[in-house]
Amino acid sequence: MTETHSNIENPRQVFLVGLSTSNGNFNYELEELANLAKANNLEPIETFTQKLERPNPATYFGKGKVEELAEAVNTYDVDMIIANDELSPSQIRNLEKVTHATIVDRTGLILDIFAQRAQTKEAKLQVQLARLQYQLPRLRTSMSVSLDQQTGAGGGGFTSRGSGETKLEESRRRITAQMVHIRQDLASLTKGDTTRSIRRNNNELATVALVGYTNAGKSTLMNRLLTRFGVGSENNETKQVFEKNMLFATLNTTVRQLTLPDKKQFLLSDTVGFVSKLPHNLIAAFKSTLQEAASADLLLQVVDVSDDHYKDMMATTEKTLAEVGIHDIPMITIYNKADQTELDYPEVSGENAITISALDVASQDALISLIKKQIFKDVTTVNLHIPFDKGHIQAQLAAKHTFETLDYDSTGTLITVDLSPLERNLFQEYIL
């Protein structure tokens, strides 16, 4: 798979190409494709489009448009073309033969971005597996050459070029063997993640997962909440998650515990962002990355309401969640970046929607209140009598709860406190 990214000083100039069919929001997809290219340090200098009912099975574009594209390649001295759709191996080979340029489709571009962003061992393995699955049927194209030279899980980018190809059958055997090993390694890592998840669930902490379109502000929101409610986060940068104004700034799922002023606690996770036409093999590869969302008690869909296409982004998020098997989990829709619009904020709409700016403290407080109503709705207020010789029980409760009332009688302590169903069962003998 050819590497796409260029060096920081001199981004590689590319053409964008796309077909307008009766399906989808074409202009939005092209705008997004340009942003994906820029996220990979590529510079789109021209966009070529054609209106067809369906792609040409041999060359994607029609014959005349392909010839026009080839002439433009010569004129502008551009050596890379980015297509808005996933192309077949034969379409890539035929286009490269006519244009004498490297053809990268949307899937290949996204995979390369993911390869560069992956930080953890699991993320690197997942991306490598997806790239190998993508490469296998494309071994005769220039897109596969660079990846064919690679041996590990790292990214790279499309600027390094291999000097040749290994024999086709040898490459296939090697790739198949790599995929087997990667799946085994991922199975071991997933087992460890499941164990950690079970351990957290046994602590009976509610879990809340941020989901949404890439660059909607999920990481920014999480960091602002961590700074205020995450233990030690304000002085420990390792507790924060990476945030930057770019597509796919982070791929890692991060889980942090928040402790609110009333001592109520929950787990908050930040997940990988979505994008339209996310490659199917990448969706499958990242199911484990989204496991935190799949097991969450509440989803927070973060939406960039300042973007004209935010409704399309919401549709993409909901479609992707369905594709990875996430159903029937309560969701709050957060219309973020309202400070970049004329909208009032914070503005709560019912029990499951709120307009905010993640940077605004009042917005954060309003969101926390909405979250608490959802995840602590089974909490009820009870009166307890703790005998004086059971001081450890009172200390255990005080560590996690703020008492509404505290009094004493001749034999023990009288406490009024909010408890979850599990806690009510645990402290049943002390309930009045």
For the chain, give every domain's residue range: 1-202, 205-375, 380-430
Q: What was the pLDDT predicted at 195?
A: 47
Amino acid at 138: R
Alpha-helical (H) ranges within 230-360 are: 280-285, 291-294, 310-323
Does residue 421 have a cis peptide bond before it, meaning omega lies within 30 degrees of 0?
no
pLDDT tens for the chain, 432 residues: list them: 566 665 556 789 999 999 998 766 788 889 889 989 998 889 999 999 999 988 999 999 999 999 999 999 999 989 999 999 999 999 999 999 999 999 999 989 988 888 877 777 877 888 888 888 888 888 876 655 554 544 344 444 654 444 445 577 888 888 899 999 988 888 887 665 554 454 445 556 889 999 988 888 988 999 999 999 986 544 455 455 555 555 555 556 678 899 999 888 899 988 777 787 777 667 765 665 566 678 889 999 999 999 998 998 898 888 888 887 888 899 999 999 999 999 999 999 988 999 999 999 999 999 999 999 999 988 889 999 999 999 999 998 988 888 999 999 999 999 999 888 888 888 999 999
User: Which of 46, 281, 14 shows the shortest CA–CA distance to 159?
Assistant: 14
Looking at the domain covering 1-202, what would its CATH class be? Answer: alpha beta
- pLDDT, residue 249, reads 52
Give the whole-angstrom CA distance, residue 161 versus residue 157. Answer: 10
Distances (CA, A) of 187 to 181, 183, 193, 195, 223: 10, 6, 10, 12, 30
For residues 276, 241, 288, 313, the Cα torsion angle rounded to the nearest 10 degrees is: -20
**What is the identity of the amino acid at 25?**
N
Structure tokens at 83: 């297509």
Count how many Cα atoms sit within 13 Å of the Cα of residue 386 in the half-sphere of its side chain.
20
The two structure tokens encoding residue 56: 């040409």
Residue 399: its pLDDT value, please? Answer: 84
pTM for the whole thing? 0.75
Give the rounded distance of the alpha carbon of 149 from its chain centre: 28
Check residue 370 and give its pLDDT.
95
State the Cα–Cα distance between residues 78 and 102, nearest whole angstrom: 9
Question: What is the chain's Cα-based Rg?
Answer: 26
Q: Are the folds of 1-202 and 205-375 the same?
A: yes
Task: Record the tokens describing residue 314, joined without a space.
Answer: 């919401």
pLDDT for the residue 241: 55
Residue with tokens 């602002």: 224
Q: Which fold has domain 205-375?
A: Rossmann fold (3.40.50)
Q: Which residues contact 29 (CB under 8 A, 6 or more apart)?
A: 18, 84, 276, 277
